[in-house]
Each structure stands twice: as structure tokens, then as C-alpha cells.
Amino acid sequence: MMKFSVMDTDGEARRGRLTFGRGSVDTPAFMPVGTSGSVRTVAPGEVRDSGAQIILGNTFHLMLRPGTDVIQAHGTLHNFMGWDGPILTDSGGFQVWSLADKRHISEKGVRFKSPIDGSSVFLGPEESIAVQRSLGSDVVMCFDECTTYPASVAQARESMELSMRWASRCRDAPLAPDQALFGIAQGGMYEDLRLESLKALETVGFEGYALGGLSVGEPKADMLRILKSVAPRMPSQKPRYLMGVGKPEDLLAGVGAGIDMFDCVLPTRNARNGWLYTRTGIVRLKNTTYRDDTRPSAAGCRCPACERFSRAYLRHLYVTRELLGARLCTLHNLAFFQRLMADIRESISRGRLTAFTREFMVSYAGEPRDMA
């Protein structure tokens, strides 16, 4: 069973450790996203070499293709994809929410058309938990409804209360003995609903708690407001997870509010779009200024892309659509995010997260920002 300990604090920020049967995870942690059983373009060993200790798998996509029977034939998702560390699986709720007019929500769950072949598929709390149990993930997420933005108070309450009823059903569904279940607080952009949701989850009791339904189109100020008001009031002895948020400045804001775990597709998706994250900002390879730039993507970076190749070469690969370009850019971005998290953890231990945040933002964005 998962164990969690907080070793250092700096204001609301915490440095801790998650311990699983498959290994430990230093927190605050950023989880690369392996949607369909792989972190796109790179091998599991390369993900590990970037510094990642845990990855995220996608229940929705894996249940549709290849199907849980294929994965179970290998034992677990870990065996299937060749990753020997911990895996967190999302519940499929966000993906179902993103289908918009192709889904029908009821008390039982959600019926939707498969984006693969158009067939009718049903996913509810019990079904989501059953899929995640069959995947053998180390952290299982409750099935929830992601509240649409914008939403009225009445709409947000109705959605939140449905998610809370589903959370109770998820808790009652059987899991493997070594799996941990996280509850997800919803409530849209309304602090009182978020706190009510959190209280309902605590009454049921979970091994960890998450904030969902952020970074879904709301203004950044609203996201930060909810984060600042709710995160510090999440159970202090349990891991806190901010779902789907991954811009560097948002990671810093989340850590400052007390968040322990993050995931996002930005490092890998933007790598395929020719975006390279560096401490001095984002290098966009489509810009002609990099056509003859012989410098590495980031000075001092020890990733495979920076150790051997120039910005000019990576731009050449990008504009000619060579697959190596996507691989190298992904390796760089994975390393950048893991290095950032390692530096954040060190700054917490040294009691200088606020100073580190300001220094980072001056370098990254050219100006200091109040990230609290």
C-alpha cells in the first residue's frame, strides 16, 4: 500500500515522499503522461533517465484500445509498456467530458460514442474502477464529472454533487490490495462548493486528494484563486494532486499552495510542435532566427538533445518533419520539467521557495511575478 510522508515545509509548500511497492517518488513530482501506454516518441528507460519516477496512464484510451484483456494477458500495464515504476491512472472522466455532444450523462454514469469506431460505450464509477484494477495501476482515480466552464452556481453544484455520489460508489468498488484510491474535489470556480466537495470526500476517506476541473478554459486568475483557497485546506497528511496543470509558472504556484503531484501533456505535446522549454523562456523552432543557431537548446542542459545537437539541427528536423526531431525535443522537455521539480524540492528544503520562484520567473518570463 502507498505511504506518504512530509519531510520539509516552506510556508504552505511541502517536500515529501510517496512510497509504493514499485519504488519511491519524491514530491513535489511531475508525472509525464503516457496516454496510450507510452510517453510519446520515447522509451520507458529514457523517461526514467529524465528523472521521472512515476507516470500517468489513461483509462479511457486503454480500455478502448487495446482493451483490458490484452493488457491483462501481460499481467499489468507496467509489464505491457515496459515501465517498472509506479503508475497513476486517471478515471476517464475528463476524456468523457471532452466528447461534449457525443455523450449522455446520467446518475449511473456516462454513455458515449467511441471516438475510434463510433460504437456505444458505457462508463460509470464501478466500470472505471474495474478497468483501473485490471490495469494494475498503483494510484487509481475516482470517476468524476469535470464541471464545464463557465457554469452557474446551480450547474456547478449539480455537477459536484453527482461527482461526490460517484466518489462514494468508487470507494465501495473492489480494488487490488496494493492500489491507492484518490478522490477528486470539484465545484467549478466557486470556493464554497470546492470546500464542500472536499469535506464530502474526507467523510468517505481516500488515500489521496485531487483538484480537478481546473485549466479547462477559465481565466488564470480564477484558477489561482481556487488553488490558493482550497489546496492548503486539503488533508495535510495525504498527498495532494492538481490534475492536468503543467505550465512552469503554474507548477510553482501549485507547489506554493501546497500541491504535491502534477501531470500535463504540455512537455510532450509542445515538443512535437517544436517548443523547447528553457530557463530563459520557450524556444520555438519554427522561428527563422534558429536556422543557423549553433548553440544547444539550453546552456548547461545534459539531455541527449543539448549534449550533441544544435538549435539549428533541431529546427531542421522540425521543418522537415523528421521523427528524430520530435524524439529529441521530447527528451529535452522531459529533462527540463524533472530538473525544475528537483530544484523546487531543494528550494523547499532550504526554505527559499519564494526566492527561487522570483529568480525563475525573472529568467523565464523577464519579470518577477507574485505566484502565491
Do 259 and 278 belong to one domain?
no
* Residue 120, burial from CB neighbour count under 10 angstroms (0-12, 13-18, 19+): exposed
- Per-residue pLDDT band at 368 (split at 50, 70, 90): very low
pLDDT tens for residues 225-244? 999 999 999 999 999 999 99
Q: Is position 371 within any domain?
A: no
Q: Is position 150 within any domain?
A: yes
Catalytic residue status for 90: yes
Q: Please tell me the distance from the alpha carbon of residue 136 to that of residue 197, in angstroms, as a whole number.
A: 28
Q: Please tell me the distance from the alpha carbon of residue 204 to that of residue 213, in angstroms, as a whole number.
A: 20
Q: Are the C-beta atoms of 137 and 82 separated by less than 8 Å?
A: no
Domain boundary among 264, 292, 321: 264
Q: Please tell me the distance from the alpha carbon of residue 123 to that of residue 90, in angstroms, as a whole number.
A: 13
> Rounded to whole angstroms, what are the CA distances from 98 to 72, 94, 152, 190, 247?
27, 6, 19, 21, 20
Q: Is position 340 within any domain?
A: yes
- For the chain, give the mean pLDDT: 96
Do 275 and 220 belong to one domain?
no
Taking alpha carbons only, the member of 165, 194, 150 closest to residue 106 is 165
Q: Is position 19 within any domain?
A: yes
Dihedral angle computed from the Cα positions of residues 193, 199, 203 and 208, in that order, rounded to the nearest 10 degrees: 100
Do 172 and 319 belong to one domain?
no
Do 240 and 257 belong to one domain?
yes
**DSSP 8-state class, residue 12:** T
Ranges assigned E (strand) in the chain: 3-10, 13-20, 23-27, 29-31, 33-34, 55-58, 87-90, 103-105, 110-113, 120-123, 139-141, 180-185, 208-211, 240-242, 261-263, 275-278, 281-284
Domain boundary among 214, 235, 264: 264
pLDDT tens for residues 4-54? 999 999 999 999 999 999 999 999 999 999 999 999 999 999 999 999 999
Do 87 and 157 belong to one domain?
yes
- Looking at the predicted structure, is the pLDDT value of residue 133 above 50? yes
Do 72 and 15 belong to one domain?
yes
Q: Which domain holds residue 283?
A: 271-365
Domain boundary among 264, 287, 321: 264
Q: Which of 150-159, 177-186, 201-210, 362-371 bottoms out in mean pLDDT, i.e. has the lowest?
A: 362-371
The grid coordinates listed for 321 are 518533419
Do 208 and 338 belong to one domain?
no
Report the phi/psi class of residue 47: left, alpha or beta, with left for phi > 0 and alpha for psi in -120 to 50: alpha
Do 152 and 209 belong to one domain?
yes
Instruction: Tell me what the mean pLDDT of segment 285-299 comes to.
Output: 97
Catalytic residue status for 263: yes
Whole-model pTM? Answer: 0.97
288 or 372, higher pLDDT: 288
- How many domains does the chain fold into? 2
Per-residue pLDDT at 370:
41
Do 130 and 173 belong to one domain?
yes
Q: Please tell me the distance from the alpha carbon of residue 287 to that of residue 233, in angstroms, as a whole number.
A: 44
Q: Is position 372 within any domain?
A: no
Do 171 and 259 belong to one domain?
yes
> Helix (H, G, I), strand (E, B), or coil: what is residue 66?
coil
Q: Look up cell 549553433; give the residue.
A: 294
- Per-residue pLDDT band at 176 (split at 50, 70, 90): very high
Q: Is position 370 within any domain?
A: no
CATH label of the domain that carries residue 244? 3.20.20.105
> Helix (H, G, I), strand (E, B), or coil: what is residue 327?
helix
> Rounded to whole angstroms, what are the CA distances from 134 to 55, 59, 141, 293, 324?
17, 10, 14, 49, 34
- Looking at the predicted structure, is the pLDDT value of residue 367 above 70? no
Q: Are the C-beta atoms of 56 and 97 separated by less than 8 Å?
A: no
Pairing of strands 180-185, 3-10: unpaired
Do 171 and 309 belong to one domain?
no
Q: Of 90, 138, 250, 260, which one is the catalytic site residue?
A: 90
Q: Is position 291 within any domain?
A: yes
Q: Please tell me the distance from the alpha carbon of residue 322 to that of residue 311, in angstroms, as a whole number.
A: 15
- Per-residue pLDDT band at 102 (split at 50, 70, 90): confident
- Looking at the predicted structure, is the pLDDT value of residue 360 above 80? yes
Q: Of 10, 144, 250, 263, which one is the catalytic site residue?
A: 263
Instruction: Tell me what the mean pLDDT of segment 210-234 comes to.
Output: 96
Burial 171-191 (b: 16+ CB within 10 A, else e): bebebeeebbbbbbbbbbbbe
Q: What are phi and psi of 351, to 5 degrees?
A: 70, 30
Using DSSP, how many helices (H) and how many strands (E) does the chain show? 15, 17
> Helix (H, G, I), strand (E, B), or coil: what is residue 303?
coil
Q: Is position 308 within any domain?
A: yes
Do 169 and 283 belong to one domain?
no
Pairing of strands 120-123, 275-278: unpaired
Peptide bond into 66 cis (omega under 30): yes
- Looking at the predicted structure, is the pLDDT value of residue 185 above 50? yes
- Looking at the predicted structure, is the pLDDT value of residue 1 above 90? no
Instruction: Tell me what the mean pLDDT of segment 141-156 comes to.
Output: 96
pLDDT tens for residues 300-342? 999 999 999 999 999 999 999 999 999 999 999 999 999 999 9
